[in-house]
Structure formats: C-alpha cells, structure tokens
Structure 1
Amino acid sequence: MKKGIHPDYEEITVVLSDGTEFKTRSTMDVKGDTYRSEVDSKNHPFYTDNLKLQKKADRIDRFNKRYGKDN
C-alpha cells in the first residue's frame, strides 16, 4: 500500500438513539471519538412499520390537495 494516502482506522464509540452504545473501528472523522446516531433500526420507519402509515397519509394528503378538500 502507498503511504500517506489512506485514512486513519481508529476505534470509535457509536451511540444509538436509545442510548445503547458499542465500540467499533472506522475511518470516520468524529468529534471526541463518539458517533451519535439519530436514526437506527429502533426508530426508522422501514423497521418500525410506520412507513405504511406514512405512505397512506401521503396518499390522503395528495387526494385532498387534488380535489380541494381542507382539513
């Protein structure tokens, strides 16, 4: 490998939205060696099944805009 062109591979602490934390190694440049995640499998709509509700709400809003209905 060429010297001086690769990022540093260091240990960081990942803190999830619910407070759970774990250590891993990464090339990410983070402040204080801690990465705080706002989105993870416990609150992302894809994993929590809220995506279906969100899609349905979007369709209802689109219908109401198209046909002039107000809430």
Structure 2
Amino acid sequence: MKKGIHPEYREVLFHDISADLKFITKSTIKADAELEHEGTTYPYVKLDISSASHPFYTGKTKVLDTEGRIDKFRKKFGTSYASLGKKKS
C-alpha cells in the first residue's frame, strides 16, 4: 500500500444517545471529540440510532424526530397534503 493516502484505521467509541449504549469498533471516521472509556481514551462519535435502538432490531415502534421535521411538514402542508391522494366519490 502507498503511504500517506489511506485514512487512519483505529478504534473509535460510538455512543447511541437514544439507548445510552457505548461500543468500540474500528473505523476511519473523523471524530472531533475524545472520551475516556474503561481507562483508555478513544475518538468519540455520537449516534442518533443504532441496532440497540432501531425499531427493526428492537421490535418497538418509536418516532425519533430530532430536528422537528414532522412538525415542520405538518405546519407547511397540514392535512391538505394527505387528502390529495384520495379520490372524491
């Protein structure tokens, strides 16, 4: 392999905020923060969702709207958008 062209492959601490789960895996992701976990300092990345909180893996339905997209959509279109696809008899 050529030197200097590949990203650094190292252990990274991921934190699923919705399930409060921390796990360490190898990754090339660039992290802005570092956090100490079990006596070792790792690059730290926050996640909104992972397999610990995803409805497909947990079997629980949950709406995760961290940026207010649903409210923004309802405010913009209201209920009129839902009625566009229905045919009147």
TM norm. shorter chain > 0.5: yes
2:21/2:52 contact within 8 Å kept: no
Q: Sequence identity, in percent?
A: 32
Distance 2:56 2:23 in 1: 23
Distance 1:62 1:46 in 2: 31
RMSD over aligned Cα atoms? 2.7
Q: CA deviation at 1:12?
A: 1.0
Aligned residues: 57
Q: CA deviation at 1:31?
A: 1.4
User: When you count helix as a share of all residues, which structure comes out higher?
Assistant: 1
1:50 paired to 2:61: yes
Q: CA deviation at 1:4?
A: 0.8
Flag structure 2 segments of 5+ consecutive residues without an equivalent. 34-42, 63-78
SS of the residue 2:83 aligns to: helix
Q: CA deviation at 1:41?
A: 2.9
- For 2:83, give the aligned amino acid: K
Distance 1:66 1:38 in 2: 33
1:26 paired to 2:27: yes
Query: 1:17-65, CA deviations, whole angstroms, 9 ceiling, x for partnerless residues?
Result: 21111111110001121111101234434444639xxxxxxxxx68951
Distance 1:5 1:66 in 2: 52
